[in-house]
Amino acid sequence: MMRPWNFSAGPSVLPVEVLERAAAEMLDWQGSGMSVMEMSHRGKEFMQILQEAEADLRDLLQLPDDFAVLFTQGGAQAQNAIVPMNLIGLKPGRKADYIVSGNWSSKAQQDATQFGHINVAASSAAAAKLDGREYKPFAWFPAVDTWHLQADASYIHVCSNETIGGVEHNEWPEFDVPLVVDASSNLLSRPFDFKNIDMLYAGAQKNAGPAGLTLVVIRKELLGAADATCPNVFNYELLAANQSMVNTPATYSIYIAGLVYKWLKQQGGVAQIEKANIAKAETLYGYLDQSSFYVNAVQNSDRSRMNVPFQLRDAALDSVFLAEADQRGLLQLKGHKSVGGMRASIYNAMPLEGVQALVAFMKEFEQRHG
Ligand SMILES: Cc1ncc(COP(=O)(O)O)c(C=O)c1O
């Protein structure tokens, strides 16, 4: 089935095969006589769906056995409070280090301040001159060797892909303090090395399923430090002990996420999808860099493979660009209001063909308006 190309930052495009299978199974899941939405979360049918989703996710992430997988709710922003409620008590000083590299990590840092002593260990909130070039705020990632970390922090928080700024960083050295990663927009798009990562969370609605599901992956030895005030439904230790069922989980979202994981395995897994993602990103950035009509202002080494913000040199043409793109079946390209311009999100389910269609339109638009 031919559909328009959907560049939404999230909720975003899902593999068509996943949607078709969900449609086929809508009224009767595998002979059960029930839609997945109608099943008890504790019944054998849904337990099978949950267990398969977890097994496939573990397989895709190559997750070591000493990690728990939690299927939670509240979205990634809820984790801004849930992470400190669970982890800041790991050490008596209730300190945490935050790396502020864009809007999402900035929000996480601000939300955390009510739970303890929050230190901004590094920030790209100011413009910077790097390698002789000027970069705007949040258009670069603070180099790890510039971070001012505290030895007695309970954890370090980073965001591996800033969805709004289009800034991605994924290389983490070994720290003496647990590393917590907001991987909402690049989880499953590339391998993550769990040697140096201790916890990761993601709103599923980009590469990891639909909205309504928030994934948490956590080293088991970090469980058990939650504040007494942490609600049970957000307590990682309780969630781990109860197979994510302290209360009713987001059953249908978990089911769709499970279909996404099966699709990803059919594509050859994360290593294969990473190759495809590199090819897509090179196609789009390659075009942007040779054009004087469009610009992506992010430092080269920190450019996101998932979210590509770009501006037209003449912002007066923005609305014309968006309207024409829409007519060509190139949807949801409007940039976030804090950055302006355009943003093409090119998650796993966006094929190279979609990126090529976008570039072809951009070229033609440049010829007509440049
Ligand atoms: C990196 C990142 N963190 C956090 C969030 C917030 O996610 P949610 O809307 O699930 O709370 C988003 C949303 O796009 C995001 O991209």
In this structure, are 81 and 121 located in the same domain?
yes
- For atom 9 of ligand 1, the residue with the nearest CA is 75
- 89 is a domain residue: yes
In this structure, are 229 and 353 located in the same domain?
no
pLDDT of residue 369: 95
Q: Which of 82, 83, 104 to mutate to test the pocket of ligand 1 (most atoms within 8 A of CB)?
A: 104
pLDDT digits (tens, 9 = 90+) for 83-112: 999 999 999 999 999 999 999 999 999 999
- With both helix axes pointing from N to C terminus, report the angle between 251-266 and 269-290 in degrees, rounded to the nearest 10: 80
Centre of ligand 1 to C-alpha 89, Å, is 24
Q: Please say if 95 is a catalytic residue.
A: no
**Is 113 in a helix, a strand, or coil?**
helix
Pick the last residue of a domain from 266, 300, 315: 266
In this structure, are 190 and 301 located in the same domain?
no
Q: Please say if 5 is a catalytic residue.
A: no
Q: Helices in the chain by DSSP H: which ranges?
A: 16-24, 44-61, 75-87, 103-112, 236-241, 251-266, 269-290, 318-327, 352-369
In this structure, are 258 and 279 located in the same domain?
no
Token pair for residue 313? 């040199």
190 and 169 Cβ atoms separated by less than 8 Å: no
In this structure, are 195 and 338 located in the same domain?
no
Q: Which of 8, 77, 306, 339 to mutate to test the pocket of ligand 1 (most atoms within 8 A of CB)?
A: 77
| Integer Cα distance of 85 and 112 in angstroms | 9
- 198 is a domain residue: yes
- 6 is a domain residue: no
- 3 is a domain residue: no
In this structure, are 235 and 282 located in the same domain?
no
Candidate list 91, 95, 97, 206, residue with the active-site label = 206
Q: Please say if 97 is a catalytic residue.
A: no
Quick one: which atom of ligand 1 is closest to the CA of 10?
14
Backbone phi, psi, residue 183, to 5°: -110, 30
Centre of ligand 1 to C-alpha 77, Å, is 6
- For atom 5 of ligand 1, the residue with the nearest CA is 76
| Integer Cα distance of 322 and 94 in angstroms | 47
In this structure, are 225 and 364 located in the same domain?
no
pLDDT band at 1 (very low <50, low <70, confident <90, very high): low
Q: Which of 302, 298, 306 is nearest to 185 (CA)?
A: 306
Q: What's the mean per-residue pLDDT of the chain?
A: 97
Give the residue numbers spanning the domain of 52: 17-266
- 11 is a domain residue: no
pLDDT digits (tens, 9 = 90+) for 47-64: 999 999 999 999 999 999
In this structure, are 62 and 174 located in the same domain?
yes
Token pair for residue 268? 């050859």
Angle among Cα 240, 9, 134 to the nearest 5 degrees reads 110
CATH label of the domain that carries residue 250? 3.40.640.10
Pick the last residue of a domain from 245, 266, 287: 266
pLDDT of residue 131: 86
In this structure, are 76 and 96 located in the same domain?
yes
- 5 is a domain residue: no
Quick one: which atom of ligand 1 is closest to the CA of 78?
11
In this structure, are 359 and 220 located in the same domain?
no
pLDDT of residue 200: 98
pLDDT digits (tens, 9 = 90+) for 224-250: 999 999 999 999 999 999 999 999 999
Pick the last residue of a domain from 211, 242, 266: 266
In this structure, are 25 and 101 located in the same domain?
yes
Q: Which of 163, 189, 339 to mutate to test the pocket of ligand 1 (most atoms within 8 A of CB)?
A: 163
341 and 293 Cβ atoms separated by less than 8 Å: no
Phi-psi region of 117 (alpha: psi -120 to 50; beta: other; left: phi over 0): beta
Residues with CB under 6 A from ligand 1: 10, 75-77, 104, 159, 163, 182, 184-185, 203
Centre of ligand 1 to C-alpha 85, Å, is 19
Contacts of 48 (CB under 8 A, 6+ apart): none
| Integer Cα distance of 344 and 7 in angstroms | 5
Centre of ligand 1 to C-alpha 78, Å, is 9
Domain count, the chain: 2
pLDDT digits (tens, 9 = 90+) for 242-294: 999 999 999 999 999 999 999 999 999 999 999 999 999 999 999 999 999 99
In this structure, are 73 and 185 located in the same domain?
yes
